[in-house]
Structures are given as C-alpha cells and as structure tokens.
A = this chain, B = another copy of it.
Amino acid sequence: MTGNSQNGNGIGHQRKKVLVAGATGAVGSLVAELVDKHPELELAGITARDTEDAKSPIGKKLFEIYPEHRVDCEFQKISDLDLSAIDAAVIAYPAGPAARLATELLDIGLKVVDSCGAFRFQSVETYEEWYGEQHDAPHLNSRAIYGLPELHREQLREADLVGNPGCYPTASVLALAPLAARNLIDDVVIDAKSGVSGAGKRGENAPPFIGTFDNMRPYGIPGHKHEPEIREQLRFLGYEGSLSFVPHLIPIDQGELVSCYVKPTRKVGPDELTTMYHDAYAAEPFVELSSELPTAREVQETNICRIHPLMDKAQERIIVFATIDNLWKGGASQAMQNLNLVLGLPEHSGIDSAVALSSGATMPLDRAPVSA
C-alpha cells in the first residue's frame, strides 16, 4: 500500500490479497511489512487478538506502534474484514487461537501459513507433550506441511496449510541435512546462540535491559520446544540417534548462530565434506556456504542461511556452523517464502534483496572452499 503500489502491474494483473492475523509481535509485524512491499501481494488487513483491551491496537496504524515498520495499514477486528475477498493469511497468534482461526480460514478457502508451533509436528501427541497443552485443531494436523522449503518444497507447492518452522530448527536442520541425508552423523550436539528477539518472550515477560545487556546465559533447558522439531526433521532425513540441544541468550537484538557437533559414522575427508554441502545447496536460492567462519550480522535482515562445515583439528568431529536472522529466515521472511510457494509465485518474490548474488546460486559455493 506504500510506494510499491504505485508501480503499475499492467492490465489484467491482480495482486493476491493477504491477511496478517496477529501483527503486534515481532514476527507478525515484519510479515506485514514484507507483504506490504511485495510486488505481487496486497496487504488486505492486519488484526490483533485482544480487541477489548485498553491497549488494543484496533484503529491504529502499524507504523504508529512500530515506527520502524513504515506500513500505513490499520489494525482491524477480524470480524470487520471481508474474508471471502482474501487469498491467503499468515497467522501469528498463540497456538490455541491460531488453530481455531486456521480452521475457519481453511474452511472458506484461504491458504494459511501458521507461525505458532501447532502445525509443525507429524503427530499431535508430540505437540501436546512438549508444549504442555491440548491441540485445538487436531483434525488439521495431517494436512499441514512443515515449511522448510529446502526439505519439503514440492509438498509446499501443493499445500494449503503450512507450519512455519521455529528459528532454531531452521538453522540446525539446514546445517545438518546434507550429512543426515547420507547417514553420516551420530552423537549430535547443537549449541545455539540467539539474540533477544529469538528468546520468544513478549510484553511484561520480555527480557529487561539490565540483566540481559553485558551478560549471556543458557536458558530454556531441559525441554526447549524446538528440540522435538529438530529431532523430527532429522528423523525424516534418517537420523534417530542421540541429540542434545541447548540455546543461549546473547545480548544482541536479532541474529542466531548454531554450532553443531557430530561424530561422523565413517571417515569423511575435507574435500568430500565440501562437495556434499555444495551438491546439497547449489540450487538453493537462500542457502550459502561461506568461505570464512560465519558471523551473525552478515545475514541480518535477509532470508539467507549461511553455513560453514569443517573438521576439527584432531579429525574427531565434524563441526557445522549456521547463521540466520531469527526474525527473517527464522520467522517472517521464511513465512513469505512459504506464502510464495503456496500461492504459486516465484519463491524469492518480495524477498529478492536476500536472493543469492546475480552470477547465480552456485557462485557462493564456488567462492566458498570449505576450510579444513
């Protein structure tokens, strides 16, 4: 609705209309901005869940709440929207309300990308065990596709319900997939480090400045909700062995780095390691191998996951680092990637600034001999 809408799209071309349900949080508000700037989408509405609250944003514009998201769209009650005119929705509600809204929207034919945890698991039981609450739409579970395009792209093209992945699983699974798919890993340790926006707490429970700044800590263990997600995707690739996952809170706003330690099941040489990762990701628009040890900042505000595998000095373990922006590839821009897939749009549409460089997707791999 901002500047981009002035770019004519020619006669006969119709932008798809997208609802963002729950644009008050970090991921939802960023999705709203990405939809708003998307050349082939129209932001048809943004909603908030708590409509009766004195602090309710209903009637306010997005930029009034988040000045950094320059989006001139007003929060509405979902009951005031004409849902029949809408093509797709990204839901960023908590699990219960999200599941109920997904049911409603699917019934009237919308495509849905859901960012809560409820549609990320093969079985409802896994969800209920790790999240400690009942699933509010168990009948939809088998219909949902896990929204990691690098693993499930073809199914996503046909899907009408996508469970957008957690940030840690996105980085961890992309880091290990090339090895897991070849049955080369054992004894997996994932030591994850995230900026504060990845720690997931909002409002009154949001981490305060004092105590977070100039500090660091492990958190959320044992039993972090992203662990079963990582386990399930690695199982899909063939790995069922041991896995320890430990997240740490780092005093930056956004950015995520996972350091994965695995025992190879057979001897793997540095060249073979390079080749495996090259082969796995050469055609992927949003995965790059880096020639240096990667840093969190170099993928900030992009949909890119940068990966760097290496062998430790004693050749005892393969170590794979992966870095993403937890709010982008680990959240909002991956939701957009999935939205593009379910709507039949080019996968990188609206997130092209993050597409691999012009000389082609293979280029980052060519310039990235894996260090050894």
Residues in A lying within 8 Å of B, measured CB to CB:
1-5, 26, 37, 63-64, 67-68, 70-72, 187, 189, 191, 193, 196-197, 204, 206-219, 221-223, 227, 242-244, 246, 248, 250-253, 255, 257, 259, 261, 263, 290, 293-298, 300, 302, 310-314, 316-317, 319, 321, 348, 352-355, 357-359, 363, 367
Known: A248-B257, A312-B221. A357 touches B214 (CB 8 A): no
Partner of A261 from B71, B261, B295 at Cβ < 8 Å: B261
Complex contact A251–B68 (CB within 8 A) = no
Q: Contacts A221-B312, A244-B319, A357-B72 hold; do A216 and B296 have CB atoms under 8 A apart?
A: yes
- Chain B residue at minimal CB-CB distance from A372: B222
Least CB distance, A239 to chain B, in whole angstroms: 13
A293 near B216 (CB under 8 angstroms)?
no
A2, closest chain B residue (CB): B358
Q: Is the CB of B312 within 8 A of A222?
A: yes
A317 to chain B, nearest CB (A): 5
A290 to B64, CA, bound (A): 10
- A248 → chain B, closest Cβ, in Å? 7
10 contacts between A and B (CB under 8 A): A3-B352, A3-B355, A64-B367, A189-B189, A214-B214, A214-B252, A216-B255, A217-B295, A221-B319, A261-B261
B215–A252 touching, CB < 8 Å:
yes
- Residue of A1, A207, A218, A257 most packed against chain B (CB within 10 A): A218
CA distance A253 to B215 in the complex (A): 9
Task: Give chain B nearest CB distance to A223 CB in angstroms.
Answer: 5
Contacting pair A216 B295 (CB below 8 A): yes
Query: How far is the CB of A253 from the nearest CB of chain B, in Å?
Result: 6
Across the interface, which residues of B come within 8 angstroms of A67, CB to CB? 290, 295, 298
User: Residue A68 contacts which of B290, B297, B310, B317 (CB distance < 8 angstroms)?
Assistant: B297
Q: Are the C-beta atoms of A207 and B206 separated by less than 8 Å?
A: no
Interface pairs A-B: 4 shortest CB-CB = A67-B298, A3-B352, A222-B313, A191-B191
**Residue of A242, A244, A251, A252 with most partner-chain B CB within 10 A:** A244
- In the complex with contacts A250-B250, A293-B219, A296-B216, A3-B353 CB distance below 8 A: yes
In the bound assembly, the distance between CA atoms of A329 and B147 in angstroms comes to 38
* Contact pick for A70, options B211, B295, B357, CB 8 Å: B357
Contact B311 A68 (CB under 8 A): no
Q: Decide if B72 touches A358 in the complex (CB within 8 Å).
A: yes
Residues from chain B with a CB closer than 8 A to the CB of A218 are 257, 259, 293, 321
- Residues of chain B lying within 8 A (CB to CB) of residue A216: 193, 250, 252, 255, 257, 295-296
**How far, in whole Å, are A3 and B348 apart by their CA atoms in the complex?**
10
CA distance A352 to B230 in the complex (A): 39
* Complex: A306 Cα to B221 Cα, angstroms: 18
Which B residues are in CB contact (< 8 Å) with A187? 187, 263
> Could you say which residues of chain B place their CB within 8 Å of the CB of A296?
215-217
A223 in contact with B358 (CB, 8 Å): no
